Amino acid sequence: MNTPVIPQSRYLNCEGREIHFMDWAPAAVVPSPACPVVIAWHGLARTGRDMDALAAHLVGYGYRVICPDTIGRGLSEWSPVPEAEYCLAFYARLATALADQLGLARFHWVGTSMGGAIGMVCAAGALQGRIQRLVLNDIGPQLATAAVDRIRSYAGSPASFATMSELEAYFRTVYKPYGYLTDAQWTLLTESSTRRLPNGRVTPHYDPAMVMQFTHHPADYDRWDDYDRITVPVLCLRGADSDLLLPDTAEAMRDRGPRALVVTIAGCGHAPALNVPEQLELVGRFLAGQ
């Protein structure tokens, strides 16, 4: 638990696109091949820095944790062909290229929302046999239409603000369903997902065109076929007040495919922030096979 945390900001070219990721590792600058690895992938309009708390926690138990920014988010390149590349199939290709270049033969996957959907596609497809355990954070193979419409309503037309304080207040409202965050965590969330516009105002750090996923790939999140092909242990965390992953879907996930272990997280909607001891320990125990 006293292992030093040495996060590195890194870039790789994957499928012709520059992808940024945070590489969290135990003491060694170059992790040992024997070091267990976790890929932790963020949600739709977020960045890999959302996984800071989880990464710091897991590194304390000897894991190396890779936290990418999806194309069009954070510090990763924006797609020049958004209608074709902002979709789960291309995200899965990016993930496969990233794992290949990092030489990751086997690893676990923790994905929040969209990041979990990418994990499902990978675990059922190109990365089958390499993903060993899969954590789906408030995501399943079927989404509630009303929640998708809600997310599109703010993600497709991101607001801009004169000051960082105003942007943080906006994030505190939009992401209130994440549950408890300290003041410092809200500030980090804001500072790690902000870009300044030519007029000097600040706005969320993503390409608004990423919502083309919902218009050009309308069935992208209908993933029961993928889910049913998954053969590794699956932990599904569902925010008790989630409007995206409905109780009936979570219940069906218990009964088919990999028969997920479903745990309801009190005090959260979509999606638990994976930043408090109870959530961190739950994920850590599952990855350790306990």
Rounded CA gap, 9 and 51, in Å?
Answer: 13
In a domain, 172, yes or no: yes
b/e code 126-165 from CB counts within 10 Å (16+ = b): bbeebbbbbbbbbbbbbbbeebbeebeeebeebebbeeee
Rounded CA gap, 113 and 200, in Å?
Answer: 31
In a domain, 128, yes or no: yes
Residue 153 is predicted with a pLDDT of 77
b/e code 216-230 from CB counts within 10 Å (16+ = b): ebeebbebbebbeeb
For helices 88-101 and 114-124, what crossing angle results, to 10°?
70
- Which residue(s) pair with 238 in the sheet? 264
What residues make up the domain containing 131? Answer: 8-287
In a domain, 2, yes or no: no
φ, ψ of residue 158 in degrees (nearest 5)? -60, 135
In a domain, 1, yes or no: no
Structure-block tokens of residue 120:
């499902």
In a domain, 3, yes or no: no
Residue 4 is predicted with a pLDDT of 53
Number of domains in the chain: 1
Contacts of 267 (CB under 8 A, 6+ apart): 179, 180, 240
Rounded CA gap, 251 and 254, in Å?
Answer: 5
In a domain, 134, yes or no: yes
Residue 32 is predicted with a pLDDT of 61
Residue 28 is predicted with a pLDDT of 53
In a domain, 102, yes or no: yes
Contacts of 225 (CB under 8 A, 6+ apart): 124
Distances (CA, A) of 65 to 20, 52, 54, 242, 275: 14, 10, 9, 27, 15
CB 37 within 8 A of CB 108: yes
In a domain, 155, yes or no: yes
Query: Tens of pLDDT along 5-53?
Result: 679 999 999 999 999 999 999 765 455 667 899 999 999 999 999 999 9
List the one residue out of 260, 235, 277 whose CA is nearest residue 38: 235
Look up the pTM and report it: 0.95
Q: What's the CATH number where 76 sits? A: 3.40.50.1820
Low-confidence ranges of the chain (pLDDT < 50): 1, 29
CA 74-220-21 angle, to 5 degrees, is 25
